[in-house]
Amino acid sequence: MNIVSVRHLDGPNIYIYRPVMIARVDLEGLTERESYEFPGFSDRILRLLPGLREHHCAKGAPGGFVERLYGGTYFGHIVEHVAIELACLAGVDVHFGRTVYAGRPGLYDIVMECRAYACQRYLLDEAIRLVGDLIEGRAPALDKVLAEAQNILARTEFGPSTRAIVEAALRRNIPVRRLNDGSLIQLGYGRHRRLVEATVTDRTSAVAVDIACDKELTKRLLAAAGIPVPDGAVAEDVEAAVAAFHRIGPPVVVKPFNGNQGRGVSLNLTTEGEVREAYEIAQAFSPRVLVEPYIVGRNIRFLVVDGRFTAASERIPARVFGDGLHTVQELIDAANAHPLRGMGHEKPLTRIRVDAVVLNTLRRQQLGLTSVPAPGQEVWLRESANLSTGGEAVDVTADVHPSYARLAERVARVIGLDVCGIDMVVAHPEAPFDRRACAVIEVNAAPGIRMHEHPSYGVARAAGERIVESLFPNGADGRIPIVAITGTNGKTTTTRLIGHVLASTGRVVGMTTTSGVWIGGEKVLDGDTTGPESARIVLSDPAVDVAVLETARGGIVRGGLAYDRANVAVITNISMDHLGQDGVETIEDLVHIKSLVGECVWEDGTVVLNADDERLVQLAPRLPARVAYFSMSDQNPVLKRHLACGGVGYYLFRDWIVEGRGNLTWEVAPVRDIPLTMQGLARFHVENCLAAVAALRALGCTRQQVASGLTSFLPGEHNPGRCMLYRLPGGVHAVLDYGHNPEGFQRMAEWLRQVPHRRLVAVVGVPGDRMDAVIRQSGRQAAALFDALVVKEDADKRGRREGEVAGILEEEIRNTAPGKPCTVILPEPDALRFALNQAVPGDVVVMFFERLDPAKRVIEEFGGVPVTSFDAPVAQPSVAVPL
């Protein structure tokens, strides 16, 4: 077996609403081989992984997978279940899996719920290796695999501080997105977006961080503010450190000038020799070293968030207790084996690491690693009280005197930090402030909150929640309104309409379309940008008030959605297109894919559906949100029934767009006043307007705002590439449109047959990644609708041979309408030139383009100018003129 590719979809997708990993796997020599063909394999795999007996599989009950295993199943399916079971054993709580045929025998997509991508990606490789070993009768080293998986988890998952913030945000329903392999996260969307890295926020002052990282400068500023700090000196060589020791007098502290997490810190040094050793230890972390007096008292970390005291924790240095039997090293090993201790910050406590500081601390107690302490003897391993070096924490939030809490708040104000950890040594923290019995020894710009969230002793404090509240006060959820638009035809125009009206109300609109990403009316990215990455550009931009997201099939299949829930979803229609792509074989497959947009809407949101599309009507009952229908007729039975039940609908009545709510109605706008509709003749654009009106009203726009926006939406300016009308010298008109499927051809012809014309001449093509059946249907449709045809071909062949698509189209056109003129010219610009050269007065030439700009240049060559309506009716009779 071989892994061909792996994708990670970190949002809702066509499989589940949670992140998944999709691995395309080639079974190679195991193609169409089943489990029962390998004697003993099923027994061996169940002995190794007995948890597989609980897997449901298609049966929907425990034991379902075992039945398939003994009855015979393909090995892609087996790898899926093994990878999921390995993840569960490694501590990753995932359960969903599915194996899907990927186009040829032996090629499958293995889909698995994914909560820890790096770990599960490794376990997928190991699952394939493990299955291969069991087929051959070899015994896999399962313990080694799981140990490495847990190491990967420890390296790649959030630390406790970031995790506390993420979990607090999720409890508040604030969107969370991880931005790198470290701890940088985005909270919220658009103008509410906040960035957080560990406990540093996008409100944290860079100047304040620089100050806090300079321990000497921090002390000077605090001392100038009247805050007690220890005296001290900066040493750049060991002799300077010794001189400072003699000047200050024992005991002293030696620590790196700009260190953190207690690394390289030595305390309670009483001799010149100890200072020299401590200097060498500290210099490994910083070329400059601080020498300060050692302050006797309790070591307490105060946490201040947004100017308010939040928590206090007394930190106890790393220690073990003797039992009269085991050595110090053995006692350390036993302490490190505790399940609450892990590497770095992965767990509430950190494993104790033996280094030079530990050895020196033991030596001052006349002990070593091989010493056997007496029963109950307390053995200190360090004197610096940091959790990062194996220390413990005791919550004292309720015990410290309010005067010390106020002192901590003042320290944070002086330095200028929004999230600040203040380390104080206080002789009597429960008593009122006494400047002779306390000192601020350090200020931390990125304080860990593990000690507050998971104290060794005492009450856990919700420090993560307090940080989230400082960023999103008063219970705000950090969201902006999101409207997502999908469907087969009309979604780009509908998206642009919605964006235009919202912008006209003063909102900053972030919009994704097939022509690019727009922020506040400015294009920031060109191209077909209808997938999740483009949506994330909008959702991460702090200028955006509202997101309007065109959401296409390809993006949904390959990347899922960029958001968890929208406020409004629009599904314009579903018709034959994209069949043969990404496993889409039927229109029902298209409905399944596009329905995800409607499913991912808040329960109090709205899904806008086309009541004239039977497939969308059938979709409505399974949607969680309210449904608003639109229809081209007030007599649509679905719409009438919906309104009779008190629902909301929008429809065309006497050439007005009308809003209905139960038995109440309001006129919104006359379609003839909406330029997009070409005096109401472009019926498909009337449909787009109805869909847009429904979405805008669901978003809270007034009817007056909607009507004003619709009438100010100009096709040429605001809707490029859709029904762009030009007048050419000699009485010829040309239309440029992006239509590329049978329904698109039909809707265009329905409009053009209503306007003055002699002949309708179409330059047609279909993208090469469509199934032959779709191409043939497009050819038949074009032959039936237009008077003369020029067949062109897209520059991007999408896997087809040159001329292949054009050949299929030509064949179908000639079979359907043998008497109609049909010419094949493959290059798109040349095909348009030919059609325009052959046009006679009164002809309308419509080009279904692949690329807009080259087509516009051809129109300009022929003297074409943009217009908003057709000229008066043509006097000449319609006759067949050969092309």
For the residues of 255-271, what is the DSSP string, one character each?
Answer: EETT--TTTT-EEEE-S
Residue 740, pLDDT score: 81
User: Left if phi > 0, otherwise alpha if psi is -120 to 50, otherwise beta: which for 478?
Assistant: left
Q: At residue 242, what is the residue type?
A: V
* Token pair listed for 757: 């014309």
- Cα R_g (the chain), whole angstroms: 35
Q: At residue 630, what is the residue type?
A: F
pLDDT at 149 exceeding the cut of 50? yes
pLDDT in tens, 220-253: 999 999 999 988 788 889 999 999 898 888 888 8
pLDDT at 371 exceeding the cut of 90? yes
Q: How many C-beta atoms surround the C-beta of residue 155 within 10 A?
A: 13
Least confident interval from 130-134, 381-385, 433-437, 865-869: 381-385
Q: Which residues contact 462 (CB under 8 A, 6 or more apart)?
A: 168, 453
In whole angstroms, what is the distance from residue 853 CA to residue 850 CA? 10
In whole angstroms, what is the distance from residue 706 CA to residue 694 CA? 10
pLDDT at 877 exceeding the cut of 50? no
Give the residue from 117, 119, 131 showing the smallest Cα distance to 25: 131
The confidence band for 874, taking pLDDT boundaries of 50, 70 and 90, is very low
pLDDT at 460 exceeding the cut of 60? yes
Tell me the CB-side half-sphere exposure of residue 71, using CA atoms within 13 A. 6
Residue 57, pLDDT score: 86
User: How high does pLDDT run on average in the chain?
Assistant: 93
Q: Note the pTM of the prediction, 2 decimals.
A: 0.87
Residue 259, pLDDT score: 67
Residue 261, pLDDT score: 63
pLDDT in tens, 49-100: 999 999 998 778 899 999 999 999 999 999 999 999 999 999 999 999 999 9
Give yes or no for a contact between 115 and 142, defined as CB atoms under 8 angstroms apart: no
- Residue 155's H or E segment, with its range, is helix 142-156
Residue 544, pLDDT score: 98
pLDDT in tens, 195-219: 999 999 999 999 999 999 998 899 9
SS (H, E, C) 500-546: HHHHHCCCCEEEEECCEEEECCEEEEECCCCCHHHHHHHHCCCCCCE
Mean pLDDT for 716-723 is: 90
Residue 145, pLDDT score: 97
Mean pLDDT for 855-867 is: 95
In whole angstroms, what is the distance from residue 561 CA to residue 650 CA? 28
Q: How many C-beta atoms surround the C-beta of residue 453 within 10 A?
A: 23
**Polymer length of the chain:** 883
Instruction: Specify the long-range contacts of residues 165-171, CB closer than 8 Å, at least 24 apart.
Output: 165/196, 165/199, 165/464, 165/467, 165/468, 166/464, 167/464, 168/462, 168/464, 168/465, 168/467, 168/468, 169/468, 169/472, 169/478, 171/465
Least confident interval from 385-399, 542-556, 664-678: 385-399
In whole angstroms, what is the distance from residue 752 CA to residue 691 CA? 22
* Token pair listed for 604: 């109090």
The confidence band for 386, taking pLDDT boundaries of 50, 70 and 90, is confident
- Residue 669's H or E segment, with its range, is strand 664-670
In whole angstroms, what is the distance from residue 543 CA to residue 552 CA? 24
Q: Which residues of 868-879 are buried (b: 16+ CB within 10 A; e: fewer)?
A: eebeeebeeeee
Q: Which residues contact 233 (CB under 8 A, 6 or more apart)?
A: 240, 244, 247, 248, 290, 291
Q: Is 807 exposed, middle or buried (0-12, 13-18, 19+ CB in 10 A)?
A: middle
In whole angstroms, what is the distance from residue 638 CA to residue 652 CA? 14
Q: Which residues contact 564 (CB under 8 A, 6 or more apart)?
A: 11, 12, 17, 175, 600
Give the residue from 165, 208, 206 showing the smallest Cα distance to 185: 165
The confidence band for 873, taking pLDDT boundaries of 50, 70 and 90, is very low
pLDDT in tens, 314-367: 988 899 999 999 999 999 999 999 888 877 766 778 899 999 889 988 998 999
pLDDT at 771 exceeding the cut of 90? no
Q: What stretches of 153-263 adopt beta strand conformation (E)?
A: 176-178, 184-187, 194-197, 200-201, 233-235, 252-256
Give yes or no for a contact between 294 and 331, defined as CB atoms under 8 angstroms apart: no
The confidence band for 831, taking pLDDT boundaries of 50, 70 and 90, is very high
Least confident interval from 338-347, 394-403, 472-481, 531-540: 338-347
Mean pLDDT for 418-443 is: 94
Residue 347, pLDDT score: 73
pLDDT in tens, 100-117: 999 899 999 999 999 999
The confidence band for 875, taking pLDDT boundaries of 50, 70 and 90, is very low
Residue 33, pLDDT score: 95
> Got the DSSP string for 815-873?
HH-TTS-EEE--SHHHHHHHHHHH--TT-EEEEE-S-HHHHHHHHHHTT-EE-SS--SP
The confidence band for 879, taking pLDDT boundaries of 50, 70 and 90, is very low
